[in-house]
Amino acid sequence: MSSSVSRRRLLQAVGATAAVSATGSFACASPAHAAVPPARADIGVSARPFALDQVRLTESRWLDNQNRTRNYLRFVDVDRLLYNFRANHRLATNGAAPNGGWDAPDFPFRTHVQGHFLTAWAQLYAVTGDTACRDKATHMVAELAKCQANNSAAGFNAGYLSGYPESDFTALEQRTLSNGNVPYYTIHKTLAGLLDVWRHIGSTQARDVLLALAGWVDLRTGRLSGQQMQAMLGTEFGGMNAVLTDLHQQTGDARWLTVARRFDHAAVFDPLAANQDRLSGLHANTQVPKWIGAAREYKVTGTARYRDIATNAWNFCVDSHTYAIGGNSQAEHFRAPNAIAGYLNKDTCESCNTFNMLLLTRELFTLDPNRAALFDYYERAWLNHMIGQQNPADPHGHVTYFTPLNPGGRRGVGPAWGGGTWSTDYGTFWCCQGTGLEMHTRLMDSIYYRSDDTLIVNLFVPSVLTWAERGITVTQTTTYPVSDTTTLQVTGNVSGTWAMRLRIPGWTAGATVSVNGTRQDIATTPGSYATLTRSWTSGDTVTVRLPMRVIMRAANDNANVAAITYGPVVLSGNYGDSTLSSLPTLDTSSIRRTSSTSLAFTATANGSTVSLGPFHDAHGHNYTVYWNAGGTVRLTNVGSGLVLGIQDMSTADGGRALQWHDSGTADHDWHMVADGNGFRFRNAHSGKVLGVLNMSTADGATVLQWSDNGTADHRWTLLDQGDGTYKIRNEHSGKLLAVANNSTAVGAFAVQDADDGTADNRWRVVRM
């Protein structure tokens, strides 16, 4: 450690140049010992992830994704990746062929992707001990050091490292840059890659090159006024605030925090700090890395404003700008809050955005590990968007840039700049290809967290955790989400009393936790963590069951447009090679699971049977994720002939349901939202759902409308009477929807009642 600190201090001089060696140096071949810990610990955190080498995926779709990416990382030619660096720094390109796409010699922000490769190689080495990946990373670092050492001959300032002239930064600072380059965006990627090679592989040469490049950033930005700097931040700069903050933590040198905070973008941060959603119209992935930087800056400074910026940004993005699959943006831009159904296009859900939102989620979870909604979102986006981003038919695991959500969409859509379908070995090098390399070499990084001696289980994935510090091994075995059950066997030095916290997703109901076959009497509230505290014995097996049901997830802006979910899985319709000109109209009551060993379903849409399956497996065919689930129904009471509505057309929680003449007012219309084997009745006027006052199970209890908060009294089952009428049974109480005192009067209130055979217990469901 002392030699590292000494070397770091030497490199603080602006003119320091990275030392060059033939192969670079690294600490050791074992990933368990090569990692370099940070000099400073984060502050304000209540939970921490395990190191990459402590969690191993076992046989599963997730491991398959990792292995395909591993194939590509072992295959790719490092000399081709070095072509633009060498050419720009006036070194021979060693006969390598240039790349195409976003790394072509004439592409404005060439050499952005190489940092992603460095990170992915370093991560895969940390995860698997793959020395081929380690050697590629250290070889590239050694060659980058040579480029950096030739700066004087190339006419660049000391420390500069890129694939295009330094004059682009002068134009950027003067606000005259017009060639499409986003210079600090590429520098961020290189800095991050070098940092990961240092901290995961232990390469001191990566550290030296990194510090020299960071020193160059300090030189350029330190001479700008605050006004000049803020103007320059109008051009995309990636996560410069995040990586420089990380460098501060890694080195303990306050200089890098000073440089990091120069990249705090006031035009974006100020509204977020004030809890204002001004995202509409902004380039989406330009913003998310800044938010990650704010979270990182909070963990260094403890300044609450940074935490508020990151938290508010996450809340806005997830609650108001995110599609059912967990992705966001259309044509790479945020639209107006809640604008979802109006933007079901071919160019939705840029992959980078979701990758970065997952990073932000991880940052926030360490601050608030009781907030289960964070990993409810993480699971949704990770499973439905990112796992399906990769082409399972491609041995190199190439990815799609956009994930289309238009009716009849198909995965394999490239960016507006360059086009194409899937990424390729050497012809694309999009941003999403780079983040895809990182994503699929760190799929295990969020399954488990720890808080002191407490183990937190966030994701249900076949895996093995080696908690080396405590001598504990946890083996998770599951076919989830095909099944609703996972088991976690705890072995090793497990003695003593400690807690295991298990995420209970918000979408489930009736979750159970058992140990060695005995059900535990602990709270399993949906949207929380169940805490299992016990004196453990090696071999103890925890079984978690999370019952799943079909739920329609309506678009924020149109209750008639909805996606089908089953537990955490979004189900899409398989339309083969057929084209769709509009959303199919779905009969939500027709959705049926057809297999107990796979997530195969069928439904009726546009009058025909359509197969449904997990969206992450929707490859090689046209699909739809959203449906016209629409239309509305009116509920006509058999006894009175009157229709169900809301008193005074109220839109408030607690508005009472009553019967009235069929006068055509909007409160008489109800959306039937599939929920398991039943439905939620959502009022078309108020947006509230039909429930029972105080979740009562008593005869005569008031039926009213309430916000859709997921309580069991909001679910109703239709019991077909065979004569065109239905009994509507509350799933919580078992009582029937009825009219008080069997009244036939206009304005009589709705109640729940016993199944006593009276006419007011039966309803006609009239589709509008």
Q: What is the pLDDT of residue 34?
A: 66
> How sure is the predictor about 589, in pLDDT bands with cuts at 50, 70 and 90?
confident
Retrieve residue 629's tokens.
């689930």
Residue 427, phi then psi, degrees to nearest 5: -110, 5
Element (H, E) at 526: none
Which position has the token pair 């799609």?
A: 400
Q: Is the pLDDT of residue 429 over 50?
A: yes
CB 422 within 8 A of CB 68: no
Mean pLDDT of 431-457: 98
From CA 124, how far away is CA 66, in angstroms rounded? 9
CB 684 within 8 A of CB 673: no
Q: What is the pLDDT of residue 735?
A: 97
Residue 726, phi then psi, degrees to nearest 5: -135, 145
Q: Is the pLDDT of residue 747 over 70?
A: yes
Q: Give tens-digit pLDDT for 168-224.
A: 999 999 999 999 999 999 999 999 999 999 999 999 999 999 999 999 999 999 999
Q: Is the pLDDT of residue 9 over 80?
A: no
Q: What is the pLDDT of residue 177?
A: 98
CB 421 within 8 A of CB 414: yes
Q: What is the pLDDT of residue 7?
A: 28
From CA 509, how far away is CA 513, in angstroms rounded? 13
Q: Give tens-digit pLDDT for 13-58.
A: 333 333 333 334 444 334 444 689 999 999 999 999 999 999 999 9
From CA 738, how far away is CA 566, in angstroms rounded? 30
Q: What is the pLDDT of residue 293?
A: 98
Provide the mean pLDDT of the chain. 94
Exposure string over 49-72, b if 16+ CB within 10 A, otherwise e = bbbbbbbbbeebbbbbbbebbbeb
Mean pLDDT of 378-399: 98
> How sure is the predictor about 710, in pLDDT bands with cuts at 50, 70 and 90?
confident
Mean pLDDT of 638-649: 97
CB 443 within 8 A of CB 69: no
Mean pLDDT of 531-553: 97
By CB atoms closer than 10 A (0-12, 13-18, 19+), residue 138 is buried
Comparing CA positions, the residue from 719, 733, 735, 629 lying closest to residue 678 is 719
From CA 517, how far away is CA 768, in angstroms rounded? 50
Give 20-24's long-range contacts (Cβ < 8 A, gap of 24+). Answer: 20/142, 20/145, 20/146, 20/149, 21/142, 21/145, 21/205, 22/142, 23/138, 23/139, 23/142, 24/138, 24/139, 24/141, 24/142, 24/145, 24/203, 24/205, 24/206
SS3 of 327-366: CECECCECCCCCCCHHHCCCCECCHHHHHHHHHHHHHHHH
Give the amino acid at 756: D
Domains of the chain, first to last? 58-263 (no CATH), 448-478+485-545 (2.60.40), 550-628 (no CATH), 633-767 (2.80.10.50)
Preceding peptide of 481 cis, ω within 30°: yes
